[in-house]
Amino acid sequence: DSKPLIVVTASRGQTEAWPAAQDMLATLSSNSRHDVVADATHASLYLDKTHAAAASQAIRDVVAAVRSHRPLQ
C-alpha cells in the first residue's frame, strides 16, 4: 500500500523491543518513514514545544502528501 505513513517515536523511555516494533509499523506502507525524535519521551511529544513541533511536522507532511498525491518527502 502506498498511503503516506509516518511513525513518530520518542527516543527515551521505551522498552528494548520498541524501536523494532515501530520500524515494523512503518513497513505497513511503501510510502512511509520512521522519525525518531531525539531526547523525547512519549509525553514530551505533545508537552515539549520542540518535540511537539516534530510530531506536528510529521502530520503536516502526511497531509501534504495526501493533498498533492505525491510520495512523502
Report d(CA 49, CA 54) in Å as an integer.
9
Query: How would residue 73 be classed by pLDDT, with cut points 50, 70 and 90?
Result: confident
- What mean pLDDT, rounded, does the chain reach? 96
Residue appearing with cell numbers 518513514? 33
pTM value > 0.95: no
Query: How would residue 56 be classed by pLDDT, with cut points 50, 70 and 90?
Result: very high
